[in-house]
């Protein structure tokens, strides 16, 4: 399934990586400019305009005039064809008295349908450029006259060549630098778009909701202000209350994210206690992640020990720095944590906790890496999946959701963390 990407997300992507693309653009500009300076070759052009003309008696018959015009055109085309020849280049260089290597090429082009021809030479000798262009015109006139002696058709220089302006290596480097910048922008756009199209992580909560038929209960920005976070957790509290009820238990399960569900559970727990609800933060994540320090919780007996000795949730839990919030760590698992979370004892413990507290927030390990979440899915009144923007793959999220539903989990919705 392809992920929908909005224009706003594309804009945010390029804004987020702007400095990287800027480095590419500047680097391309510098490289192109540097190469231009290293390979810069001064080449000048000068152009002379010649006229291929004939004089016809006013009393000449129309047939003779047409024949003469045809012969004139033959000579004009011969002049054009002769211009690029190596033989002519050598003769022009000798005629102008310059080094033959300095005269790079000669080109001829007819001006429209007239008998005017532009002769353009290219050279690295600026001072003698005009002399070479005029010499080319004179040499062609002699060559044509020698090849076609009759009838007499004359070739005149109408416009003499002028000495070309000085070329600047700096100007050439600037132009190449600009070209490099344009090239860098194109490369950056292509790479950026390719990265977006190849990125199949979750970036659009609305699309996920519609595709998987589950509500997004919260969307938390990566660099949100404190008040924004509080407002979002209030909305999450309202959504959870609607999904689970006025009392109940909720499993929070992260899916393939760098940040687990612990931060989300802490924020939700605080929002619930502010509303006057008693909350148990039940840490069932045996992967080692803990929020004990963040909550200011002391040393607790632990879930494993409580299940073993039959302690009630209220007896096993410890208080935290947040009034109305109790905390119970997972403790040290003996044997398989998956078996522990799938046991009847765990389900009974969660149910008992729901009787002793208004809300039980049970944080499980990453569903992608641990099977524990699937086994415990049916133990609570609701399941809240936690995805991370740009990190959680959509496929993995979809597969996790399918497994949890198959295991009997009551999916309340999902939250998206780290939105940029």
Name residue 413's beta-bridge partners: 384
Dihedral of alpha carbons 367, 371, 375, 379, sign: negative
Would you identify the CATH topology of the domain 205-419?
Rossmann fold (3.40.50)
Q: How buried is 199 (Cβ within 10 angstroms: 0-12 exposed, 13-18 middle, 19+ buried)?
A: middle
At the second CATH level, the architecture of 44-159 is 2-Layer Sandwich (3.30)
> What is the model's pLDDT at position 1?
41
Q: What is the pLDDT of residues 44-78, one digit of tens each?
A: 888 999 888 766 555 555 665 677 778 778 888 88
- What is the per-residue pLDDT for 274? 92
Domains 44-159 and 205-419 share a fold: no
Report d(CA 230, CA 236) in Å as an integer: 10
DSSP single-letter state for residue 418: E
Task: Domain ranges for the chain, please list them.
Answer: 7-40+169-198, 44-159, 205-419
pLDDT of residue 36: 66
Q: What burial letters (b/e) apply to 92-105, b meaning 16+ CB within 10 Å?
A: bbebbebeeeebee
pTM for this one?
A: 0.60
Q: Give residue for tokens 């190469």.
A: 35
Strands (E), 80-144: 103-110, 116-123
pLDDT < 70 stretches in the chain = 1-9, 36-41, 54-65, 151, 166-173, 224, 257-260, 333-338, 367-375
pLDDT at residue 260 in the model: 63
**pLDDT value at residue 193:** 77
């Amino acid at each position: 399934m392809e992920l929908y990407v909005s224009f706003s997300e594309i804009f945010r992507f390029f804004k987020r990586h702007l400095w990287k693309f800027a480095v590419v653009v500047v680097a391309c500009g510098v490289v192109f400019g540097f190469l231009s300076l290293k390979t810069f070759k001064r080449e000048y052009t000068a152009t002379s305009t010649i006229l291929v003309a004939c004089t016809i008696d006013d009393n000449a018959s129309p047939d003779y005039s047409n024949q003469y015009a045809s012969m004139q055109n033959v000579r004009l085309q011969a002049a054009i064809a002769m211009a690029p020849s190596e033989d002519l280049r050598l003769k022009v260089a000798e005629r102008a008295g310059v080094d033959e290597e300095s005269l790079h090429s000669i080109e001829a082009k007819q001006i429209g349908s007239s008998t005017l021809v532009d002769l353009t030479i290219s050279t690295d000798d600026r001072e003698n450029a005009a002399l070479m262009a005029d010499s080319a015109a004179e040499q062609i006139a002699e060559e044509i006259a020698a090849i076609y002696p009759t009838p007499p058709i004359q070739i005149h220089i109408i416009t003499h060549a002028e000495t070309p302006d000085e070329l600047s290596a700096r100007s050439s480097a600037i132009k190449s630098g600009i070209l490099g910048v344009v090239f860098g922008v194109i490369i950056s756009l292509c790479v950026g778009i390719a990265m977006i199209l190849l990125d199949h992580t979750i970036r659009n909560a609305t699309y996920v909701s519609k595709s998987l038929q589950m509500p997004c209960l919260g969307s938390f920005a990566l660099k949100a202000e404190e008040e924004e976070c509080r407002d979002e957790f209030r909305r999450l509290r309202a959504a959870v209350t609607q999904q689970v009820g006025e009392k109940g238990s909720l499993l929070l399960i992260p899916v393939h994210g760098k940040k687990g569900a612990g931060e989300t559970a802490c924020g939700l727990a605080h929002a619930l206690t502010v509303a006057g609800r008693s909350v148990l933060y039940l840490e069932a994540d045996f992967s080692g992640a803990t929020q004990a320090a963040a909550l200011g919780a002391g040393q607790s007996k632990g879930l494993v020990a409580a299940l073993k000795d039959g302690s009630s949730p209220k007896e096993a839990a410890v208080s935290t720095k947040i009034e109305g919030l109790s905390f119970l760590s997972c403790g040290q698992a003996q044997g398989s944590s998956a078996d522990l979370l799938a046991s009847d004892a765990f389900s009974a413990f969660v149910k008992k906790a729901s009787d002793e507290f208004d809300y039980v927030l049970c944080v499980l390990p990453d569903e992608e890496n641990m099977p524990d979440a699937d086994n415990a899915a049916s133990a609570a009144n609701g399941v809240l999946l936690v995805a991370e923007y740009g990190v959680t793959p959509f496929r993995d999220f979809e597969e996790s959701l399918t497994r949890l539903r198959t295991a009997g989990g009551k999916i309340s919705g999902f939250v998206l963390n780290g939105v940029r």
